[in-house]
Structure 1
Amino acid sequence: MTRDSSVLGVARTVGGAVGIAGRHLFRVDSNPVPSEWSHVTKVDPEPEKLLPVLYPLYLQHTDVLSVGGSRSVDQRTTEETFHLLEWTPKPTIHEPSGAQHVSSTTIESATFLAVPEVLNGDSNALVGTLGEGIEYIRESLAPETLDGVLPRWTPDAVSDRLADFLTSWLLHEAVFEAYIIQNPDSAAAREANVTASDCLTVEEARQRAMAAERHLESEILYLEYSGTFGGEEAAATLDAIRDATTWSRLWYGGGLDSRENARAMLAAGADAVVVGNVFHDIAAAERSICTRAADDLTADADEAAVREWVDRHVDVDAFPAVQYLETIPSVDDPAETARAYLVATVAVWMHVLDDGPTPSESLPERYRSVAGPTHADGDDDVRVDEYLDALTSALSRADGGPTGVPVTHLSIHDVVDG
């Protein structure tokens, strides 16, 4: 062994010891995932999973947005979703289900890349997909990125080394999200080949979480019931994992549609709860409601008329926005907040339906005239007026274009198409 290699070995050992001591003895929080995040909203780029037309209002209440999906998702739909989320005041992470969903645009837009690892799936879900992703970064994404900054005369050997460095750097900057999938009937389970026999006991989940934190150094441990509520079993598992881990963030997802369920998972030890399907359900419900409103209201209906129509014809308590907002403890009155947002939504829909793709009155002006004191809940960071200006421009061109709003992702998209 040479002296240089010996010095490097000692430095590595000392550095490792300092890191371990800081993390476990002195509880230094070096995890890049903020500890204050307690509510995560998953936004799916799948074409059939639309966003509410006034989605910036709803998303101002969550802590972070997670972009990811699998069915019919590609790089284009992912980039369009990130573009839409530029009008929200919240950080956005990218959790791709396929390596090709990642691009220089998504890397630039995302706070960080979250790489999924399934602890109870097949080997492909743990390392096979990761290997495919690394190959894509090294062979495609890194060279494409470097082509834009390196002069043409750069020697191949230098380009190759820089591509190696960039690949390792992107993985270093990413966070790793270790999944335990407990619903074998879910799409997530099918993707990772998790069957009923692969679902873990509380003790097995605890052991794998410990391995993920101490060996894989996963920044996030994700207990996923995907579409169904885990109840007491999930609570017991969260409690066991929380007791056995110290550094990783512990997230829970699955079947959350009430304040009671969300609080139960947080009380059991989850650092954050993850909500997805119920958020997209808002868009489907508002399409139905606004279509009915078009038969009864005129575009110039004032706030009182719209609110009266909503109160008479909509069971607001059954509106998915209430269930979504109930999962966020900081929202004091989910039902009244949902009602206010629905009134503003109906007004925007009616205005667009009346004027077609070239509204004579700007959407921001119309929105303000109806929303009144509910405008952005007083949060100056929620850029609703800017977003509606962009939406007006997109509707006038009948497509989102590179700088407009990708309207095909919104509940109102058929106004343009039809």
Structure 2
Amino acid sequence: MTSLDGAARSLGRVGRGMTLAARTVLPVDTNPVPADWTHVTKVDPENAKKLPLLYPVYLRHTSAVSVGGSADVTARNTEETFDLLAPASVPVFHEPSGPRHVTPRTRERADLLAIPEVLNGDSESLVGQLGEGTEYIREELVPELLGEKLPWLPARLADALADVTTSWLLAEAVFEAYVIQNPDSAAAREANVTESDLLSASETKQRAMAAERHLESELVYLEYSGTYGGDEAAETLAAVSESLSWSRLWYGGGLDSRERATAMLDAGADAIVVGDAFHRVADEEADLCERAAEDLEPGASASAVREWVGENVAIADSHAAAYLATIPSVSDPEGLARRYLTATVWTWLRLWELGRDGADERASAPNPSDTGDLRRALGPDAADDVESEDAALVGRCLRALLAEGTESDGDADPSASPSTSEEIPVDHLSVSVSRQ
């Protein structure tokens, strides 16, 4: 061993020692996943999982948005989902279920890349996927990126830089150690988790400790995937929470009320992950708008719509209120749900009216994509706290929705950009302009 090799190894040991000290002893937080994230909304790119019409207004209350799913997810619908979420007022990160869901476009849009590692699945779910992903990054993704950015590089230098870039991208990624506890879920099927693979609280604790200290996983995720873990999950969270000093501990599964969300946070979760409850808001909107169209005129005022919602919607039992109730910072989920559902129905009725009018009428009519109109529709209690980027993102989506609806009727709006509806995948939204 040369003196240079020895010096390099000494430096490596010093670096590892400093990293260990920063994670366990020093009063600093080196985990790239923010500690103040307490509520994460998971948006599934699957085409069947729709987004609420005013989704940026709902998402402004969450800490962060995760993009990913276990079934019917492709690179294309993942990119489309990122297109819809940019630029949102909250961080958006990517949690791919397959290596090829990561593309140059998703890398550009995502604030973080979270790579799943299933601790109680088969070896393929822990090592095989990572190996396939590393090969894809090194042999396809990175060469494509370098070819675009540095096309003049000689082949030998490009190959060496590809090695460095691959290691850098993996070092920059967040590793998410999963314990899947619902064997009937799509996530369990993907990772080959069966009844015999379910873990006790003590077994989960042991694997979480290995994930933090050996795998250096920034996240440990207890996943019940569509079912609520209850007392069993609370016991596991308490055990795992006591054993971790650097990794974040998240819980996901069956969260659709303030009581359930609070129970998991109180048990030791740093953050809770809510997915199905958010997508159910979109399903609710589609039915609600169809019902409103039977009772209200397209040009109904916001006050008329507000009265109709009050008479026809059981807000306390609504999916909108259920989703908002999972967010600890939302003090009045029912009141907020009432305002958001009113604004959604009013907005859709106006879009429908504009969609059926001719181009001349549309040019002179009030447009629901105007951010001032949106704020007024939300009502005085919520109008002032809507972020400007959220209102602008809503307006962009509504213009695209209107453009697509009018183009499909052969009466395109001349004021709309011809590529707008192509750039924004409005088929992911809960409603369309054209009534069925």
Question: Which category of TM-score, normalised to the shorter sequence, fits these structures?
Answer: over 0.9
Q: Which residue matches 2:387?
A: 380
Aligned partner of residue 300 in structure 1, secondary structure: coil
- Segments of 4+ in structure 1 off by > 6 A? none
3-state SS of 1:221 partner: strand
Q: 1:405 aligns with which of 412, 424, 432?
A: 424
Question: Where in structure 2 are the equivalents of 1:203-282 lying within 5 Å?
Answer: 203-282=202-281
Residue equivalent to 1:363: 368
Contact persistence 2:60–2:390 (CA under 8 A): no
User: In the TM superposition, what is the alpha-carbon distance from 1:391 to its structure 2 partner?
Assistant: 2.3
8 Å Cα contact 2:251/2:269 also seen in 1: yes
Question: What residue in structure 1 maps to residue 411 of structure 2?
Answer: none
Range moving further from structure 2, 132-141 or 383-392: 383-392
- Check 1:80–1:296 CA distance in 2 against 1; reply closer, same or farther (3 A cut): same
For structure 1, which segment, 288-297 or 161-170, has the greater mean C-alpha deviation from structure 2 after superposition?
A: 161-170
Partner of 1:395: 402
Looking at structure 1, the residues matched to 340 and 265 of structure 2 have their Cα atoms a distance apart, in angstroms, of 27
Specify the SS of the correspondent of 1:28.
coil
State the TM-score, normalizing by the size of structure 1.
0.95
Q: CA deviation at 1:369?
A: 4.1
Which residue does 2:97 correspond to in 1?
97
Deviation at 1:98, TM superposition (A): 1.1
Structure 1 stretches of 5 or more lacking a match? Answer: none
Number of residue pairs the alignment of both structures matches: 416
Q: CA deviation at 1:150?
A: 1.8
Name the amino acid aligned to 1:361: P
The alpha-carbon deviation at position 295 of structure 1 amounts to 0.7
1-structure distance, mates of 2:347, 2:24: 53
Matched, 1:25 2:25: yes
The DSSP-based 3-state class of the residue aligned with 1:41 is strand
Q: What is the match of residue 310 of structure 1? A: 309
Letter paired with 1:182:
Q
- Counterparts of 1:364 and 1:102, CA distance in 2: 32
| Residue 390 of structure 1: how far off its partner (Å) | 4.3
1:394–1:401 Cα contact (<8 Å) kept: no
List runs of 5+ in structure 2 lacking aligned partners: 408-418
Alpha carbons of structure 1 residues 402 and 294: separation in structure 2 relative to 1, 3 Å: closer
SS at match of 2:294: coil
For 1:215 and 1:377, the matched residues in 2 are separated by 48
- Classify 1:105/1:416 alpha carbon distance in 2 versus 1 (closer, same or farther; 3 Å): farther
Q: Could you tell me how far 1:72 is from its partner in structure 2? A: 2.2
Q: Which amino acid aligns with 1:405?
A: I
List per-residue Cα deviations over 1:224-248 (Å, max 9, x = no partner). Answer: 0111111111111111111111000
Q: Secondary structure at the match of 1:364?
A: coil
Give the 5 Å matches for 1:98-177.
Answer: 98-152=98-152, 154-177=153-176
Closer, same or farther: CA 379–356 of 1 in aligned 2, 3 Å = closer
Cα 1:165–1:403 shift into 2, 3 Å: farther
Shift of 1:417: 8.4
* Cα deviation, residue 397, structure 1: 4.1
Deviation at 1:88, TM superposition (A): 2.2
Distance in 1 of aligned mates of 2:150 and 2:396: 38
CA–CA separation in structure 2 for the residues paired with 1:295 and 1:143: 55
Shift of 1:182: 0.7
Q: Distance in 2 between matches of 1:121 and 1:386?
A: 39
Percent same amino acid among aligned pairs?
A: 54
Cα distance in 2 between the residues matched to 1:187 and 1:204: 23
Whether the aligned pair in 2 keeps the contact of 1:87 and 1:384 (CA below 8 Å) is: no
Rounded to whole Å, the distance in 1 between the matches of 2:321 and 2:180 is 27
The alpha carbon displacement at 1:68 in A equals 0.3
Alignment correspondent of 1:74:
74
Q: Which amino acid aligns with 1:363?
A: P
- Kept in 2: contact 1:283–1:410 (CA 8 A): yes
Instruction: State the 1:368 CA deviation.
Output: 3.9
Alpha-carbon distance in structure 1 between the residues aligned to 2:319 and 2:82? 23
- The answer to whether the Cα contact below 8 Å between 1:376 and 1:384 also exists between their aligned partners in 2 is no
CA contact (8 A) 1:118 1:180 kept: yes
Quote the Cα distance in structure 2 between the aligned partners of 1:268 and 1:235: 5
Matched residue SS, 2:47:
coil
**Would the alpha carbon gap of residues 242 and 389 (structure 1) be closer, same or farther in structure 2, given more than 3 Å must change?**
closer
Secondary structure, in 3 states, of the residue corresponding to 1:32? Answer: coil
Residue type at the aligned position of 1:367: L
SS of residue matched to 1:120 = coil
Whole-Å separation in 2 of the counterparts to 1:25 and 1:367: 50
Matched, 1:44 2:34: no
Deviation at 1:109, TM superposition (A): 0.7
Displacement after TM superposition at 1:364 (Å): 3.0
Work out the CA distance in 2 between the residues paired with 1:382 and 1:330: 20
My pick for the range that moved more, 281-290 or 75-84, is 75-84
Partner of 2:62: 62
Task: Report what 2:322 is aligned to.
Answer: 323
Provide the aligned C-alpha RMSD in A: 1.8
What are the superposed Cα offsets for residues 92-128 of structure 1, whole Å, 9 maximum, x if unpaired?
0100011111111111111110000000000000010
Q: Distance in 1 between matches of 2:157 and 2:285?
A: 55
Please say if residues 107 and 113 of structure 1, whose CA atoms lie closer than 8 Å, have aligned partners that are also in contact: yes
Q: Is the 8 A contact 1:347 1:367 kept in 2?
A: no
